[in-house]
Structure 1
């Protein structure tokens, strides 16, 4: 199986994939330098790309092959979670425009909503229009981003793309057609455009990529040929013979990826944790690793916080991930303390109304929530106090190991929690929600057992 990788996790995943017998293709320059191996230029059946926020990867490609790569990637650590995308890249829909915005239109696809930039549409788009669209770029569930759509129907690849109804790029004025050189033709009614990576590919690889693209184009033609027009059937999926899966790496998993990378090249402790936290950290990390032969040791939280944040007096958002892939912001608070051991204290002033979960006491004006987060810990407490400083109770959230990035503290909530009421009574809650998440396939049993063990330990400590 051929796999193309890009982003901050590439070296580690290249090591894991090649060790498992998979073939990495179209490797970048640094990867070619680090590995004593020959990397082909042929078409990739699966693409693994780091998400824009660097929290994980998207795995996209042929249905039957994505599953094998996904299994390996999600097996990195017990706090790695994954979710299938209901609108995978390349899927073709009959969609209905439900809203027009400044830069594009919101389109109902049935399974989800998509966003069609006006620049991706052939004609003017208005509310109520029904049209054929294709998913050009899927979005990770924790980003709340709608998939990006286009009205052109295409089979996109890293070597070449086929576009339905388009003309073929001949590969240069006055020169021989690339199609003449590869001795192959696109499917009738489709035009070829050559991607940048095709410059480094041999003719056999290009011919094989064109053959695979032609097969996919034929499948799309077949799906559209007998289907009712978009005006009659929207919202409706015409064709989705591809898979996109989103993988989120927890803190333990990032350190496991460090180990995989260390098997190939010098890797400092916390390499992936640091690069996931701040874009400008990448240059500093590459510099340190280039200078040091063995930069292993404790994760340098104090230095990281001093250089990039969070800092005392600043603010920090609580990024509350859910096991179904969503990310919920619990709001931003003032950072009141940052300790060298990785502990950060955040205070938030709360608005009145309703009750505190599981504590059963009202939220009142002037209430303060003090949250104590520690890098790498599987739980964190939030103590609620009234305007005079009297405790209203403490809520301990059990979660995947906390990562404190410069702007946001991130984790995935594991449902089961422990509360300590103002009178000292300790109660464990939401075990049933964790059980339901396991039954739904959202939380692996190993991770659930860890959560239950953490909850038991916290309950004993507070009793």
Structure 2
């Protein structure tokens, strides 16, 4: 039985997907249990956990590799165009590492299959063996970050070398105090205990047995480290997969949630917009249980998101990348809002000197840009001008259809772009970068082909019309 625990704004929709693929939902809230059905629920400790990303724009799946991979496959089968980032090595994987060099305040440590970055107070010499675990896995070529506070992972608890007794922030009240006291009684010498959220409903006998088992594993780990002659993996950690949801995927999630609970269109985008909009969604969905006013309520919610959007107002552009970085462009001044044509035009001022990336033309004091965002399309077009109003070039970013949020608009950049400067033909750039993310599995073939198609259409359109 594959059991997964869920927490966050995507819980109901993802739970509905998982139970249709044969998963059990571990230790759910009463509301979630009622929505998915008691036959799909278990109080056993989960083998994987799904929580919101910090920015609420997707989810993070963590746990046993085979269960995490299987869950990700099931979710992707339903959602298609989600952005997928598979991190490695596993979180809390433990290594016998070898110090290769020191760079300022960090050490570069050789691991089995690669290198990691260790930042610590201890002093090490080149060639010294060191026991480390992964605290931040790498992605797309980035090195993992390491710690000497090694963790041994269980279903209810972690043993942490040199750590204290702590309890998951999700466990409150008397149970929190009870687990602290139990931890003090069971704490092995030289190790701390962190009780996981799954410990809240566990029996005391189960917790005692787990700590005894983790203690044996910790002793075996130290023995294997002492015997290791070179860099080697001593214990596999937890698989981590992150999924980011573009606008159209959130709409699919709205539909999935709607199969088991009353759901307004835009539920997940509005929930991601912050506490104010989250409360409005809850109120609207309570009203829908009693009144047939879906269309009116959805229009009101959309207007609330757009009410700040007016000519002369500020707009921040949130540019999320396939690698997971987020760049905030602007804010710029809104010049035009045209819902019938589905576009917003923003004036952006540029400072400093240099050259514009992609266009390779000089960047000078007084330059400005007019950025046209296609509200229902796949492009964000910036026309760059000198302070005299002379067009320097056009840069068309290919991205997922954008989402409006209070004070900002957000999209996911698909790497590939189209550029044109006066006197030269339009050209597609960064095609290879898009292809590399497709080959990594970050995007699926459908989204990859769509980005290529959009870039080709833009290039042909720019070639067919004069610059203006």
Are 1:253 and 2:249 an aligned pair? Answer: yes
Structure 1: runs of 5 or more not aligned = 101-105, 117-124, 180-184
- State the superposition RMSD in angstroms: 4.2
1:453 Cα offset (Å): 2.0
1:15 Cα offset (Å): 0.7
1:391 Cα offset (Å): 1.9
1:175-205 Cα offsets, whole Å, 9 max, x none, are: 9x979xxxxx999986766556434234686
Are 1:290 and 2:300 an aligned pair? Answer: no
Query: Match for 2:270 among 271, 274, 277?
Result: 274
Instruction: Summarize the alignment of residues 83-232 of structure 1 with structure 2, pairs less than 5 Å apart.
Output: 83-86=85-88, 88-92=90-94, 108=108, 111-113=115-117, 125=121, 132-135=131-134, 138=136, 151-156=148-153, 159-164=156-161, 194-195=195-196, 197-202=198-203, 206=207, 213=214, 217=218, 220-221=221-222, 223-227=224-228
For residue 171 of structure 2, what is the aligned residue in structure 1?
none
Structure 2: runs of 5 or more not aligned = 167-174
8 Å CA contact 1:8–1:275 kept in 2: the answer is yes
1:384 Cα offset (Å): 0.8
Q: Distance in 2 between matches of 1:409 and 1:12?
A: 24
Q: Distance in 2 between matches of 1:453 and 1:173?
A: 58
1:31-59 Cα offsets, whole Å, 9 max, x none, are: 13433215222221111111111112211
For residue 66 of structure 2, what is the aligned residue in structure 1?
64
Change (3 A) 1:282 1:156: farther
8 Å CA contact 2:116–2:143 kept in 1: the answer is no
SS at match of 2:38: coil
8 Å CA contact 1:79–1:400 kept in 2: the answer is no
Change (3 A) 1:422 1:159: same
1:131-159 Cα offsets, whole Å, 9 max, x none, are: 645445x48979x9996x76543335563
For residue 356 of structure 1, what is the aligned residue in structure 2?
356
SS at match of 2:42: coil
Change (3 A) 1:16 1:382: same
For residue 383 of structure 1, what is the aligned residue in structure 2?
383
Are 1:16 and 2:17 an aligned pair? Answer: yes
TM-score normalised by the chain length of structure 2: 0.76
TM-score normalised by the chain length of structure 1: 0.77
1:354 Cα offset (Å): 3.6
Are 1:50 and 2:67 an aligned pair? Answer: no
1:373 Cα offset (Å): 1.7
Q: Distance in 1 between matches of 2:16 and 2:227?
A: 45
1:79 Cα offset (Å): 2.9
Q: Distance in 1 between matches of 2:343 and 2:326?
A: 22
Q: Distance in 2 between matches of 1:357 and 1:99?
A: 31
SS at match of 1:85: strand
Q: Distance in 2 between matches of 1:64 and 1:152?
A: 26
Aligned length: 433
Change (3 A) 1:290 1:98: farther
